[in-house]
C-alpha cells in the first residue's frame, strides 16, 4: 500500500479565494505561511518518504515548510501547477462574466469543452495533471508520499486515482491548507480523508 497525503497550498497575498490565480506565481501571505507551519506540525509524526510539489511558489514554499521537519528535498513538478486561466488570470468571476459572458457561461456550466482565452482547456489541463501519475507508478508501491498543489490539480488527481470521471471534480472542494489522504493499492485507491482543516483551528 502507498499512502498519499494531498495538501493544498496556504493562503496568498493575492486573495486566492476570490480571484483566479492559476499559473500566476503569487506568493504565500503571512497567514499562508502560518497555515503551512500548522501543516508541518500536523504531519510531523508521519514517516514521509518523498515530497512532490507544483513548481509555483505558493505550493513550493508550503511543501518546503512541511518537508523541513523530515529533512526531505522537494521535487518540483510543472505538471502539478494550476490551470492556466489565460486572460482570466487575476479576475473575479463577476469581472469574467462582464468581460467574457459567453466563456463565463461555459465555465458556470462546467462545460468540458471550455478553453480559457489565451490559456488552457479543461481537457488539456486534466491530461497534463494526469501525467503526474506516471511519476508515482515508477516509485515503490510502499511508503507515504506528500503532494502539495492546487485545488484544480488535486481534484484531478483524486478523480483519476478513484477511477471516476473528471466531470465529478466539481462535486467536492479543497480549502486552502487542507489535507486529504488516499490509500492506494494495485486494485485502486480508497479515500480516507477529504478536505480536513482541523489543524487550522
- Give residue for cell 513550493: 60
- Is 199 a known active-site residue? no
- Give residue for cell 480536513: 196
Quote the CA–CA distance of 143 and 35 in Å, as a whole number: 25
Half-sphere exposure of residue 34: CA atoms within 13 angstroms, side-chain side: 6
Cβ proximity of 44 and 69 under 8 Å = yes
With a CB cutoff of 8 Å and minimum separation 6, the contacts of 201 are none
- Is 168 a known active-site residue? no
Cell of 130: 494526469
DSSP state of 104: H
Cβ proximity of 42 and 65 under 8 Å = no
Cell of 184: 492506494
Antiparallel, parallel or unpaired: β 143-149 and 74-77: unpaired
Cβ proximity of 10 and 36 under 8 Å = yes
SS3 66: helix
Catalytic residue, candidates 9, 70, 168, 199: 9
Catalytic residue, candidates 150, 168, 171, 199: 150
Residues recognised as catalytic: 9, 150
Amino acid at each position: 500500500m502507498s499512502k498519499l497525503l494531498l495538501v493544498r497550498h496556504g493562503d496568498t497575498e493575492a486573495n486566492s479565494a476570490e480571484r483566479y490565480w492559476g499559473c500566476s506565481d503569487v506568493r504565500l501571505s503571512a497567514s499562508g505561511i502560518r497555515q503551512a507551519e500548522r501543516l508541518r506540525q500536523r504531519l510531523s509524526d508521519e514517516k514521509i518518504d518523498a515530497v512532490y510539489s507544483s513548481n509555483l511558489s505558493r505550493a513550493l514554499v508550503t511543501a518546503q515548510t512541511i518537508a523541513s521537519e523530515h529533512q526531505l528535498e522537494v521535487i518540483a513538478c510543472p505538471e502539478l501547477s494550476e490551470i492556466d486561466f489565460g486572460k482570466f488570470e487575476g479576475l473575479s468571476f463577476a469581472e469574467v462574466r462582464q468581460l467574457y459572458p459567453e466563456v463565463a457561461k461555459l465555465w458556470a456550466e462546467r462545460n468540458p469543452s471550455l478553453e480559457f482565452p489565451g490559456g488552457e482547456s479543461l481537457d488539456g489541463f486534466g491530461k497534463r495533471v494526469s501525467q503526474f501519475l506516471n511519476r508515482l507508478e515508477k516509485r515503490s508501491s510502499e511508503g507515504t508520499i506528500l503532494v502539495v498543489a492546487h485545488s484544480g490539480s488535486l481534484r484531478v488527481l483524486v478523480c483519476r486515482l478513484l477511477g471516476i470521471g473528471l466531470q465529478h471534480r466539481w462535486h467536492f472542494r479543497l480549502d486552502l491548507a487542507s489535507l486529504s489522504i488516499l490509500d492506494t493499492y494495485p486494485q485502486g485507491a480508497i479515500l480516507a480523508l477529504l478536505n480536513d482543516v482541523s489543524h487550522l483551528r
